[in-house]
Amino acid sequence: MKKIIVTGSNGQLGRAIRSLCSSADYELINTDFGVQGLVDLDITDLDSVIGFCREVKPYAVINCAAHTNVDACEVQVDAAHKINAIGPRNLAIATAETGAKLVHISTDYVFSGEGTRPYTEFDPPAPKAMYGITKLAGENFVRQFSEHFFIIRTAWLYGDGKNFVKTMLRLADSHDNISVVNDQVGSPTSANELAKAVLSLVPTENYGLFHGTCEGQCSWADFAKAIFAAAGKNTVVTPVTSEQYKEMNPASADRPHFSVLENYMFRLTGGYGFADWEKALAEYMPDLM
């Protein structure tokens, strides 16, 4: 049976992959750092990564591990570089040595967020936040050292774990009115949909860079309204600008104003077709009710 190492498997995407992946197809080796019940693997330690890959001899490695706290990355610069850049580098080196495929998850934050149309895989990156800077560095290391790789950029992810959907529902329990940014636009993406896309690529040789988000776009405020409507909540959403939000939360890092990704490479290569974001949200909500 082919073995797949999943790093960061306690995160939203890692949990979705664990839920969807049939044991009849692959044997998952679920790893994380310091999480009880999972294989302990520090991807920032090159020797540990190489040794583990030599021992397991995986068919593929799916890297879901990342320092995703955008605000924290601005102050925890070394940690962000180690996890988001050095970690992928180490996995790329190890998979190249053992002949394994590498699936690396990246982000919309590699772009400036100042565009006016959906970004394709052929648009030049220009990250502004440290999160995006370090994630782009990770992408570049994967390209440099891996021989058989898939890089998938995603955005606005939600699934089994801490996310915007759950935050909005929690706030709705104690607030009649919630202020939500309305001048940042993206594509809410179900971890379940992204996991399906990841697993569709693994057995192929369709290598390269992909964008992977649910279809369609909305603002965070529109997303919040859709969440409350699906949950039957009467909570009122008050749209605010990014500047107004920054005044209320001065420690927050700047977010992209426009981070819609077009799944252009999936479409060009006949790959996975993502569900519309509203349909994916409707499928996700019953799990929370």
- Residue 13: CB partners within 8 Å, gap ≥ 6? 64, 105, 157, 159, 191, 194, 195, 198
Has 131 been annotated as catalytic? Answer: yes
Q: Looking at 26, 59, 119, 131, which residue is catalytic? A: 131
- Residue matched to tokens 């970690």: 87
What pairs with residue 150 in β-bridges? 103, 208
CB 109 within 8 A of CB 132: yes
- Residue matched to tokens 């809410």: 188
Secondary structure element (H or E) that encloses residue 13, with its range: helix 12-20
Amino acid, single-letter form, for residue 179:
S
| Nearest alpha-carbon partner for 89 in 139, 39, 18, 132 | 139
How many residues are given for the chain? 289
What's the number of CA atoms in the CB half-sphere (13 Å) around residue 27?
7
Q: In whole angstroms, what is the distance from residue 128 CA to residue 109 CA?
A: 8
The token pair at 9 is 């498997």
- Residue matched to tokens 């981070």: 259
Helix ranges restricted to H, 76-205: 77-81, 87-98, 130-145, 164-172, 191-201
Return the DSSP state at 231.
H
Residue 65 phi/psi, 5° resolution?
A: -75, 135
Q: In whole angstroms, what is the distance from residue 110 CA to residue 254 CA?
A: 13
The residues assigned a catalytic role are 131
